Structure 1
Amino acid sequence: MALVKSDSTVFVGVMKNVAKLFLGQAMAGVLGLVYTILAARALTPAEFGEVTLLYAWPRLMALMGSGRSWQVILHYGAAPLEKGEKPPVQNAISFALGLDLFTAFFATLVAMLGVFFFPTAVGLNESLLAMGLIAALLTIPATCLNSSTTGILRLFGRMGLVAKQEPYTAIIRLLLGGIVWFMGGGVVGFALAVGIATMAGQIYVFYAASAVLKENGFLFSPALRLMRLSHEMPKGVWRLMFSASLGYSLNAAVNPAVFMIVGRFFGPAAVAFFGLAETFLRAIAKIGRLLEESYYPDLARLDIRSSKPWALVGRIELLALSVSVLTILITCFGGHFIFSLLGKDYLAALPLMQWMSPSLLFMMMGLPLEGLLYCAGKSLSILWVQIFSAFSMFVFIVVFMATPSFLTFGLGLSYSLAAMVKFFFYLLGVGMIFSAREKIIPLHERKI
């Protein structure tokens, strides 16, 4: 059983999961780079920026509506699953699926109303209004439902299936992008390629999660009466979901909001440069996400009061430090080659990405600390950290916006400083719970 595994065995298992995910992410990264080069060669910077802006508002709403429902599945399902207790596991799965279903509906509705009634305010050219509605329909339900479905696969240790989602999405996006390029589809064509590929990737995960549940004797049954079901679950499930989902949504919504701010004040070309820099950094930062996806199921099974989770996170922190330093060096010294593939018009994005690159260090080292805080039941503390971090990002932007080099130095430094703020608050929080870890009651042990 996972609860009696040695520290080394758990760490080796985590690294095996990382290896599975890395292969998929590496393939998706290469295909994504090829697609980006194709789109950049086919579109002008202004047109590339329009594609980015088309998805800025839907992406903002998708991220605002995306719950951290996988937290419920792992925190309330992992330990009972180890003990062979099926009802608590089924409750956690049904609750998470139902929550995602409701948030997907409301996020899609709000996004479509925003596009229809306030297109200029959400950064859209009115001639692209119909495409804005289609973008919302293609991406928001897929993004919202991804949390619970991947959480199911992680709960049952099916990381190989999780690893296939991004390569499948990238392959479909590249194939569609090639067709668009060949047919001269322009902005609308490339925007459709992104949306259709996103939806297709989620359909795969939806099917995989259903099959895994059936294989293990569970039902793929979203709960429609969430309040009633929550009364059958351990105390605090709503607090976890509210704080975790709101914190994640605020944190994830920062970049789409910055896209719209930059687009409003500096135009679509500036959005294209920031979008490219952010896309490449996000691709590199996925290594940190791989660590989170791999260690979190094991971390949720361990007793936070023992030394095992702390030893596991300590090893992950050292690994994250090494990887983040390596990725920053790659960004600084290999960035020129990557951006030169896009064409000379896009080289202006390189200095911006280099100023944003220190954020990789703080982001990768912060993820393991965030996991510990969740396991300790400190989701409200994480929410406050994420609120303060998001607020600090906009404060830094306001401070640096008046500088002549805002689109390189100012914007990039704001991005990195906000990541640093979040990391140091996480570090402070972990220090506080470590000193009182014997008094912590794990989430799944709290009274109903």
Structure 2
Amino acid sequence: MAQANSAASERNVFFGVMKNVAQLFLGQAMAGVLGLLFTILMARSLTPSEFGQVTLLYAWPRLMATLGSGRSWQVILHYGAAPLENGEKSPVQRAISFALGLDFFTLILATLVAVTGVVFFSQTVGVSASLLGMGIVASLLTIPATCLNSSTTGILRLFGRMGLVAKQEPYTAIIRLLLGLLVWQFSGGIVGFALAIGIATMSGQLYVILAAFRILKENYFTFSPAFHLVRLSQEMPQGVWRLMFSANLGYCLNAAVNPAVFMIVGRFFGPAAVAFFGLAETFLRAIAKLGRLLEESYYPDLARLDIRSSKPWSLVGRIELIALGASVLTILITCFAGSFIFALLGNNYLEALPLMQWMSPSLLFLMLGLPLEGLLYCAGKSISILWVQVISALSMFVFIAVFMSTPSFLTFGLGLSYSLAAMVKFLFYLAGIGTIFSSKEKIVPLHERQR
């Protein structure tokens, strides 16, 4: 009877994850179609060089926004999910306040660094001097609300409101496309499309912030950022700073790779080459959304389960099978439907197609690696994940240095570097899982670690 109940419980968790994936997938599918229409509209309205200028305008602000948004949702889920399940309110409120406070601190820091970088270094990576003011505006539109998105999305995931999370991307895409149509109608050029991207991004992030505020109020919690983080951390289980340091640093290193590659390509090959890499990376990121949807869907349930039992391992095993099938399907899409998609952009952008096809194997390693990363975090191996991300980031630049001198670098070399770096990360994650599985009974969950 106990085994039957356990099996039923595992099935319920899995079906709940699949329901969340379905909600998110519908939203992402709509956002993907609208995003493709916006990209086509922008590509048809701008030359490759102008398209590259828009990409470069947001390379630095997006990097700072990504670094500033961090992984504060990890605190909410790892230190709040199990207590919420047990009806303990105080630990949940502490986790929420800590995460919000951390995001407010990084918001201020990231905005200052971004504006400073735009003022002093934008021309170094190929941004026109006449677009300096637009670079500052792009930073202010992108960074503040994005930095709060980590904790606010974590709040919605904690309370199982994936439907609200799923609406963010479509809302952003709708606003971006409508603004893009206005820019196209009135020949707004580079500045017009850059403003459309920034305003839409800010609007989508503000929607999530307001939704999180409302959900907290409905559940009798408060949207109260903690500004005395050290004092609050002393009331939380041991290791919260270790988790935040390693998770944020690893995430920052991982997230910094693509913007850094944008700037390297812009420095040595010009804005048009940035446009090709930007298009290929944008399409791959859109296709790879399914892997991110799986992560967003299963992570709250994974954080609630006891890592020492078989349930989380069984859940991740099923997710891995889905990720394998999805990754193979997405690679086939890039290989056989890529020419049709890029034909819509115009002949000037067809050079990006072989680059995307060489980058497409990274989808397999990305989707298979995400569930393993979640297990490692639940096992308290955030430092190990940090080292894996350091090695992966370094390997990307090593591969680029090796292939940069080849005549076909902007297709074969850059694409292969991208895929090989993803493979390195996956193999190290796989090795890490092997080391903890044999001794999983000895693991102490993060929320149980006492001072």
* TM value normalised by structure 2: 0.98
Match of 1:110 in 2: 113
Match of 1:198 in 2: 201
Match of 2:415 in 1: 412
**Aligned pair 1:183/2:186, yes or no?**
yes
* Cα gap change, 1:422 to 1:86, in 2 (>3 Å): same
**C-alpha distance in structure 1 between counterparts of 2:416 and 2:324, whole Å:** 20
**Mapping for residues 63-82 of structure 1, pairs under 5 Å:** 63-82=66-85
Match of 2:384 in 1: 381
Q: Aligned AA for 2:135?
A: G
Which is further off, 14-23 or 139-148? 139-148
Q: How far does residue 4 in structure 1 lie from its aligned partner after superposition?
A: 9.5
Q: Aligned AA for 1:100?
A: D
Taking only aligned residues, the RMSD between alpha carbons, in angstroms, comes to 1.1
Find the partner of 1:18 among 4, 11, 21.
21
**C-alpha distance in structure 1 between counterparts of 2:7 and 2:144, whole Å:** 39
- Contact 1:304 1:440 (C-alpha < 8 Å) held by counterparts: yes
**C-alpha distance in structure 2 between counterparts of 1:116 and 1:323, whole Å:** 43
Q: How far does residue 124 in structure 1 lie from its aligned partner after superposition?
A: 2.2
Q: How far does residue 117 in structure 1 lie from its aligned partner after superposition?
A: 2.1
- Contact 1:359 1:416 (C-alpha < 8 Å) held by counterparts: yes
**Mapping for residues 52-131 of structure 1, pairs under 5 Å:** 52-131=55-134
Q: How far does residue 362 in structure 1 lie from its aligned partner after superposition?
A: 0.1
**C-alpha distance in structure 2 between counterparts of 1:23 and 1:384, whole Å:** 35
**C-alpha distance in structure 1 between counterparts of 2:68 and 2:320, whole Å:** 30
Q: Deviations over 1:128-160 (max 9, x none)?
A: 000000011111112211100000000000000
Match of 1:298 in 2: 301
Match of 2:164 in 1: 161
**C-alpha distance in structure 2 between counterparts of 1:3 and 1:230, whole Å:** 35
* Cα gap change, 1:27 to 1:45, in 2 (>3 Å): same
Match of 1:327 in 2: 330
- Contact 1:165 1:204 (C-alpha < 8 Å) held by counterparts: yes
5+ residue gaps, structure 1, are: none
Find the partner of 1:432 among 427, 431, 435.
435
Aligned-partner SS, 1:101: helix
- Contact 2:125 2:267 (C-alpha < 8 Å) held by counterparts: no
Match of 2:273 in 1: 270
**Aligned pair 1:348/2:359, yes or no?**
no
Q: How far does residue 417 in structure 1 lie from its aligned partner after superposition?
A: 0.1
Find the partner of 2:153 among 150, 160, 172.
150
Q: How far does residue 342 in structure 1 lie from its aligned partner after superposition?
A: 0.4
Find the partner of 1:234 among 210, 226, 237.
237
- Contact 1:51 1:190 (C-alpha < 8 Å) held by counterparts: yes
Q: Aligned AA for 1:139?
A: T
Q: Deviations over 1:139-197 (max 9, x none)?
A: 11122111000000000000000000000000000000000000000000000000000
Q: How far does residue 116 in structure 1 lie from its aligned partner after superposition?
A: 1.2
Aligned-partner SS, 1:424: helix
Match of 1:244 in 2: 247
Which is further off, 308-317 or 56-65? 56-65
**C-alpha distance in structure 1 between counterparts of 2:393 and 2:122, whole Å:** 24
Match of 2:51 in 1: 48
- Contact 1:54 1:123 (C-alpha < 8 Å) held by counterparts: no
**C-alpha distance in structure 1 between counterparts of 2:120 and 2:26, whole Å:** 43
Match of 1:214 in 2: 217
Aligned-partner SS, 2:122: coil
**Aligned pair 1:447/2:443, yes or no?**
no
Q: How far does residue 3 in structure 1 lie from its aligned partner after superposition?
A: 9.6
Q: How far does residue 125 in structure 1 lie from its aligned partner after superposition?
A: 1.6
Q: How far does residue 13 in structure 1 lie from its aligned partner after superposition?
A: 0.5
**C-alpha distance in structure 1 between counterparts of 2:441 and 2:248, whole Å:** 27
Q: How far does residue 65 in structure 1 lie from its aligned partner after superposition?
A: 1.8
Q: How far does residue 442 in structure 1 lie from its aligned partner after superposition?
A: 0.0
Aligned-partner SS, 2:308: coil
Q: How far does residue 252 in structure 1 lie from its aligned partner after superposition?
A: 0.8
Find the partner of 1:37 among 40, 44, 55.
40
- Contact 2:49 2:275 (C-alpha < 8 Å) held by counterparts: yes
- Contact 2:125 2:266 (C-alpha < 8 Å) held by counterparts: no
Q: How far does residue 5 in structure 1 lie from its aligned partner after superposition?
A: 6.2
- Contact 1:243 1:383 (C-alpha < 8 Å) held by counterparts: yes
5+ residue gaps, structure 2, are: none
Q: How far does residue 235 in structure 1 lie from its aligned partner after superposition?
A: 0.3
Q: Aligned AA for 1:142?
A: A
**C-alpha distance in structure 1 between counterparts of 2:112 and 2:169, whole Å:** 26
Find the partner of 2:400 among 391, 397, 421.
397
* Cα gap change, 1:206 to 1:341, in 2 (>3 Å): same
**C-alpha distance in structure 1 between counterparts of 2:126 and 2:24, whole Å:** 35
Q: Aligned AA for 2:434?
A: G
**C-alpha distance in structure 2 between counterparts of 1:305 and 1:123, whole Å:** 51
Q: How far does residue 293 in structure 1 lie from its aligned partner after superposition?
A: 0.2
**C-alpha distance in structure 2 between counterparts of 1:338 and 1:357, whole Å:** 15
Q: How far does residue 119 in structure 1 lie from its aligned partner after superposition?
A: 2.4
Aligned-partner SS, 1:157: coil
Q: Deviations over 1:348-378 (max 9, x none)?
A: 1000000000000000000000000000000
Find the partner of 2:260 among 232, 257, 267.
257
Q: Deviations over 1:34-68 (max 9, x none)?
A: 00000000000000000000000111111222210
- Contact 1:115 1:122 (C-alpha < 8 Å) held by counterparts: no
Q: Aligned AA for 2:63?
A: L
* TM value normalised by structure 1: 0.99
Aligned-partner SS, 1:55: helix
Alignment size in residue pairs:
447
